[in-house]
Structure 1
């Protein structure tokens, strides 16, 4: 290098980082969509995933899978923690294939109702992001895996697992037609 050049009205390309949603969150969403086909090639049981904006890239990943064997959710957690930047993911939530990981209300409902703390929570020690301020040590700490999938008898679940209670399409249409009659807007 021979010299440093400058100009009075310089443009400094950057993104602003802070409480989501900020500019960098959308880079995370782009990364999520770009890498999904590649991850699905390696792990075909993955249906979809979501890096919620509130997770700021790798604090949370919500993934839906085609569950095929006992312990499949834990296998996916460990697989994701084992690839590239996913090693920094502080929380992985695994759901059944029929759950849309982008529907955070349904995700919360499944997590709140489908887990038994002793059976379905996995605590794993491993690398954390350099910017993680929550762990006791820089770059190393504990991560949480949450198995919110339907449990099978082959996984030691001895009770019947109930189906979701849902209104029929006809009933939803009936209520919608009479909405104003019920005094609701």
Structure 2
């Protein structure tokens, strides 16, 4: 799509692998650069389930069989992008969303099953220790992800429906269509996050932050240091662990309102006291990190500070108009015909 892309890419593939020891299935969505008619790249970030299956296969010195489904139904396609816990089957999750099971059929040449409603199926394998330079690629960050070595997918069989439709997605500077899929993830998984961290009220992963650069979180603050506890918990939670900048607010703050977020952030934060830095894994697409997939993260506590947290001054109240005045003014508008 973009002028400096390293070549054509398959951008909406569902990549099926099985753990070489347990046989547990993983389905992920990883871009695939087309090298020639028989090979593509396999853009497995090191933190992804498919990459873990490949690491185990490499350790065993075995090929990893891979099936690629292109164009099943939308719910099944979405399920491949969902940040599920390890070893939770994405096809079971797709069935939950669809409210009916996903019909699966066996591949012709490898021991994999794929959604029967898919438009196109690629079957093949990835050899241990085989790499090829992949990229650059105009990515959802709005920047080109840099060329790097990734495993090579060898295609051994292609099947497709009659008059097959080839689906694809285009990513680039936000907002693009992938942003709205990510926003759906934010809403779908919030109740599950709250089951683990019930003090969380709401989360906003702003589109401009491309879902791993920034998160605004409101909490029901219950004890001193609570905001920092939430930061550490988020940095240990699945794909949220890659969040570069976390901002924690009190429960009354509407974190979906960027104007209110910036106002509270400017008013409630003492930078030296309220900012913490940690080091650890970061998103593979973070080009600002000093090393690939490894860098620093920042958390800012924008909650009201308590005396138990060492704040000895009086904390001011926000300005709110009296309800009786609001009612009086509203009635005045009606009498003046301005309602």
* 2:4 corresponds to: none
Q: What is the rounded CA distance, in whole Å, between the counterparts of 2:222 and 2:159 in structure 1?
A: 60
1:167 Cα deviation after fit: 2.0
* 1:90 corresponds to: 244
Q: What is the rounded CA distance, in whole Å, between the counterparts of 2:186 and 2:195 in structure 1?
A: 14
CA RMSD, 1 decimal: 2.4
Which of 193, 196, 204 in structure 2 is aligned with 1:39? 193
Structure 2 spans left out of the alignment, 5+ residues: 1-108, 110-155, 334-339
Structure number with higher helix proportion: 1
**Structure 1 residues 6 and 146: CA distance shift in structure 2, 3 A:** same
Say whether residues 1:107 and 2:247 are aligned partners: no
1:174 Cα deviation after fit: 5.2
Say whether residues 1:138 and 2:292 are aligned partners: yes
1:161 Cα deviation after fit: 0.3
| CA offsets 1:78-126 (integer angstroms, 9 cap, x no match) | 0000010011101111000111110111111110110001110111111
Q: What is the rounded CA distance, in whole Å, between the counterparts of 1:30 and 1:88 in structure 2?
A: 19
* 2:169 corresponds to: 15
* 2:275 corresponds to: 121
Residue 239 of structure 2: SS of its match in structure 1?
helix
**Structure 1 residues 172 and 14: CA distance shift in structure 2, 3 A:** farther
Q: What is the rounded CA distance, in whole Å, between the counterparts of 2:324 and 2:207 in structure 1?
A: 35
Q: What is the rounded CA distance, in whole Å, between the counterparts of 1:116 and 1:144 in structure 2?
A: 14
TM-score (norm. length: structure 2): 0.50
1:168 Cα deviation after fit: 2.7
Q: Which has the higher contact order (CA 8 A, sep 6+)?
A: 1
Which of 208, 211, 216 in structure 2 is aligned with 1:57? 211
Structure 1 spans left out of the alignment, 5+ residues: 180-185
TM-score (norm. length: structure 1): 0.89
Which of 296, 310, 328 in structure 2 is aligned with 1:156? 310
Q: What is the rounded CA distance, in whole Å, between the counterparts of 2:326 and 2:259 in structure 1?
A: 19
Q: What is the rounded CA distance, in whole Å, between the counterparts of 1:136 and 1:178 in structure 2?
A: 61
**Structure 1 residues 170 and 138: CA distance shift in structure 2, 3 A:** same
Q: What is the rounded CA distance, in whole Å, between the counterparts of 2:210 and 2:296 in structure 1?
A: 17
Q: What is the rounded CA distance, in whole Å, between the counterparts of 1:137 and 1:123 in structure 2?
A: 17
Q: What is the rounded CA distance, in whole Å, between the counterparts of 1:173 and 1:12 in structure 2?
A: 58
1:132 Cα deviation after fit: 0.8
* 1:182 corresponds to: none
1:136 Cα deviation after fit: 1.3
Q: State which structure, 1 or 2, has the greater radius of gyration over its C-alpha atoms.
A: 2
Residue 4 of structure 1: SS of its match in structure 2?
strand
Say whether residues 1:26 and 2:175 are aligned partners: no
